[in-house]
Structure 1
Amino acid sequence: MQHDPLSDVLSSVRLRGAIFYYVSCARIWVAETPPSPELADALSPGAEHVIAYHMILRGQGWAGVDGEPPLRFAAGDIVMFPRGDTHALSSAPGMRAEGGDQSWRATTRDHPKPILVALHDGVCELDAEVPTAQAETVLVCGFISCDLRPFNPLIGALPRVLHLPAADVGAWVTPMLGQAVAESRHRRAGSAAVLERVSEMVFVDAARRYLESLPEDGGSGWLAALRDRYVGRAITCLHACPSDPWTVDLLGQEVGLSRSALHERFVERVGMPPMQYLAHWRMQLGARMLREGNAPVAAIALETGYDSEAAFCRAFKRLTGQPPAAWRRANREGMRR
Structure 2
Amino acid sequence: MDPLTDILAGMNIRAAQFTRLDASAPWGFASSGDPVVKFVLVVRGSAILTSPAHPEPIALCGGDVFIMFDAEPYRMFDHEDSRTIDCIEVEKLRVGNRIEVGGGGAVTTFVSGFFDIDAAEVRPLVGVLPKLLHLKLDQSRSLAFQSVLELLALETERPGLGSEAVISRLFELLFVHAIRAYSVQPNDLTRGWLAALSDRHLALSLEAMHADPAAAWTVETLARASGMSRSAFASRFKAVVGQPPLEYLTGWRVHRAVRLLQQRNTSLSEVSRRVGYESVAAFNRVFKRETGTTPGAFRRALLAEADTI
- Tell me which moved more, 203-212 or 222-231: 222-231
**Pair 1:177–1:332, CA change in 2 (3 A):** farther
Q: How does 1:90-109 map to 2 (within 5 A)?
A: 90-93=77-80, 97-98=84-85, 102=88
Alignment partner for residue 101 of structure 2, among 106, 119, 127?
A: 119
> Following the alignment from structure 1 to structure 2, what is the Cα–Cα distance between the partners of residues 284 and 33?
32
* 2:210 pairs with 1:239: yes
* 2:165 pairs with 1:178: no
> Following the alignment from structure 2 to structure 1, what is the Cα–Cα distance between the partners of residues 124 and 281?
26
Deviation of the 1:334 alpha carbon: 4.7
Deviation of the 1:92 alpha carbon: 2.0
* 2:10 pairs with 1:9: no
Aligned to 1:149: 120
Residue identity opposite 1:297 in structure 2: L
Residue identity opposite 2:148 in structure 1: V
Aligned to 1:45: none
Tell me the alpha carbon deviations over residues 88-128 of structure 1, each in whole angstroms, 9 at most, x when there is no partner: 22102587835x694987x99xx9963x333214xxxxxxx
Contact 2:113 2:171 in 1 (8 A): yes
Tell me the alpha carbon deviations over residues 311-332 of structure 1, each in whole angstroms, 9 at most, x when there is no partner: 2222222222332233234335
Aligned to 1:43: none
Deviation of the 1:335 alpha carbon: 5.7
Deviation of the 1:308 alpha carbon: 1.1
TM-score (norm 1): 0.78
> Following the alignment from structure 2 to structure 1, what is the Cα–Cα distance between the partners of residues 82 and 197?
37
> Following the alignment from structure 1 to structure 2, what is the Cα–Cα distance between the partners of residues 112 and 241?
50
Deviation of the 1:144 alpha carbon: 3.0
Alignment partner for residue 191 of structure 1, among 135, 160, 163?
A: 163
Identity value in percent: 31
Aligned to 1:60: 46
Alignment partner for residue 81 of structure 1, among 51, 68, 83?
A: 68
Q: How does 1:155-166 map to 2 (within 5 A)?
A: 155-166=126-137
Q: How does 1:287-326 map to 2 (within 5 A)?
A: 287-292=258-263, 294-326=265-297
Q: Would you identify which runs of 4 or more consecutive aligned residues in structure 1 move more than 6 Å?
A: none
The alignment partner of 1:243 has SS state of coil
RMSD over equivalenced CA pairs, Å: 3.1
The alignment partner of 2:79 has SS state of coil
> Following the alignment from structure 1 to structure 2, what is the Cα–Cα distance between the partners of residues 17 and 208?
23
* 2:218 pairs with 1:230: no
The alignment partner of 1:272 has SS state of coil
- Tell me which moved more, 147-156 or 55-64: 147-156
Residue identity opposite 1:34 in structure 2: S
Deviation of the 1:299 alpha carbon: 0.8
Structure 1, unmatched stretches of 5+, are 41-49, 122-129
Aligned to 1:19: 17
Contact 2:44 2:110 in 1 (8 A): yes
> Following the alignment from structure 2 to structure 1, what is the Cα–Cα distance between the partners of residues 268 and 300?
13
Deviation of the 1:277 alpha carbon: 0.8
TM-score (norm 2): 0.85
Tell me the alpha carbon deviations over residues 186-214 of structure 1, each in whole angstroms, 9 at most, x when there is no partner: 6x3x4333322211211111001111232
Pairs aligned (count): 303
Residue identity opposite 2:175 in structure 1: F
Aligned to 2:252: 281
> Following the alignment from structure 1 to structure 2, what is the Cα–Cα distance between the partners of residues 94 and 214?
36
Tell me the alpha carbon deviations over residues 252-300 of structure 1, each in whole angstroms, 9 at most, x when there is no partner: 1221223232222222111211111111111111111221452111111
Deviation of the 1:145 alpha carbon: 2.6
- Tell me which moved more, 52-61 or 284-293: 284-293
Deviation of the 1:17 alpha carbon: 5.6
> Following the alignment from structure 1 to structure 2, what is the Cα–Cα distance between the partners of residues 173 and 117?
22
